[in-house]
Amino acid sequence: MVLGTRNNAIPEMVVCQTCYEDHILAYPEFAREHFELSTIPQAADQTWWCDLVVPYIYREYKVRALTNDWKNFVECVPVRMSLNPCPGSDTVYPQDNKWFTPNNGPKGLLICMACYCDYVLLTEQHSQWRNAGDNLVGIFGVSVSCFFGAQFSSASLLAKAK
Ligand SMILES: [Zn+2]
Ligand SMILES: [Zn+2]
């Protein structure tokens, strides 16, 4: 069973049954008003990406459900869904205005926009980061990596090695 937003308010969004029951239904009225069984036909062997595993989308849901603010949910979630995924431990060419850096350093520490949304936006950390701006290549060179992404992927590698 897969759920989606009612009337395809966010066409790409899918939520698995477990997340629906554990997290979406935590706010029953909001849930029933805005989610329904997905009508998109599914192949039995198809693996679905559940959007609620994205920390930002999960947080966004809780915040908007509490304030009964579907309008902002529908505006904000597709923005997150359209971002490039975190490069993880890979280095990439830095696109201007898509990277964030802590206000008080360390200098040169960057996180990607996906990680900014997932781990900084709508959290207490919010005021401590700023957009790294443009001319990133001039400052950081042609290859940068995401500090969070690199940490998380090495942590998961370690976990796998155990
Ligand atoms: Zn799920
Ligand atoms: Zn990242």
Residue 109 near residue 139, CB atoms below 8 Å: no
> From ligand 1's centre to the CA of 21, what distance in Å?
9
The CA distance from 144 to 17, in Å, is 37
| pLDDT for the residue numbered 96 | 86
Residue 143: pLDDT band with limits 50, 70, 90: very high
Distance 58 CA to ligand 1 centre (A): 10
Please give the model's pTM, rounded to 2 decimal places: 0.83
Please tell me the number of the ligand nearest to residue 118's CA. Answer: 2
Position 162 scores a pLDDT of 47
More confident residue, 77 or 41: 77
- For residue 30, the CA-to-ligand 1 centroid distance in Å is 18
pLDDT at 72: 97
DSSP character at residue 43: -
Query: What is the rounded distance in angstroms from the CA atom of residue 95 to the CA atom of residue 112?
Result: 10
Q: What is the mean pLDDT of the chain?
A: 89
pLDDT reported for residue 130? 96
Q: What 3-state class would DSSP assign to 101?
A: strand
pLDDT of residue 74: 98
pLDDT greater than 90 at residue 63 = yes
Do the beta carbons of residue 66 and residue 28 sit within 8 Å? no
**What's the CA gap between 63 and 121, in Å, rounded?**
12
The ligand with the least distance to the CA atom of 117 is 2
